[in-house]
Amino acid sequence: MEAPAPHSPAEPGSVQIVVTSPEQMRELGRRLAKLLRAGDLVMLSGELGAGKTTLTRGLGEGLGVRGAVTSPTFVIARVHPSLGDGPPLVHVDAYRLSGGLDEMEDLDLDVSLPDSVVVVEWGEGKVEELTEDRLQVVIHRAVGDTTDEVRQMTVTGLGERWATADLSVLAA
């Protein structure tokens, strides 16, 4: 992983990261897991194939949860219990959900959130009302007919929970 690009400064409370391979994306997920605790909401944004599930797979490895972390596109949500004393991982793919929080309420994320790390792919406009404290991860990749593995990422901590967090450790 590379340091933030000098021409695109991160806003306060955020860090920019360049990832050049799927393994680096998983490693970033493992490092991010060290910052997470029960009650954390992580929202992932990015084009299809940007690496949202790969990042979540690394999170699952870092949190030490049971089960292979795969895309929950067709089941909407998967719960991965902890193999130790850490929090479970709730992995949600909101891509197929057209409504806002009303449609998400059927998933009982508000019940799961205090005791779990909840990761929501495609959650923009759907889960922000769950908590003011969340981590927003935006992944940009080249689109079109390309084999380019480079991803430009911005990780932003929102709310009191993330006000003093040192997100720069993610770019190390």
Domains of the chain are: 14-170 (3.40.50.300)
76 Cβ contact list (under 8 Å, min separation 6): 92, 93, 94, 96, 97, 107
Most confidently predicted of 8-12, 106-110, 164-168: 164-168
Residue 162 in this model has a pLDDT that exceeds 90: yes
Structure tokens belonging to residue 111? 């019940």
pLDDT at 152: 95
Residue 4, pLDDT above cutoff 70: no
Taking the C-alpha atoms of residue 155 and residue 166, their distance in angstroms, rounded to an integer, is 11
Model confidence band, residue 172 (pLDDT cutoffs 50, 70, 90): confident
Q: What confidence score (pLDDT) does residue 101 get?
A: 53
Residue 8 clears pLDDT 90, i.e. is over it: no
What mean pLDDT is reported for the chain?
84
**In the predicted model, what is the mean pLDDT of residues 144-160?**
87
Tell me what the mean pLDDT of segment 84-103 comes to.
78
Amino acid identity at 66: R
The whole-model pTM stands at: 0.85
DSSP 94: -
Q: What is the mean pLDDT of residues 18-30?
A: 96
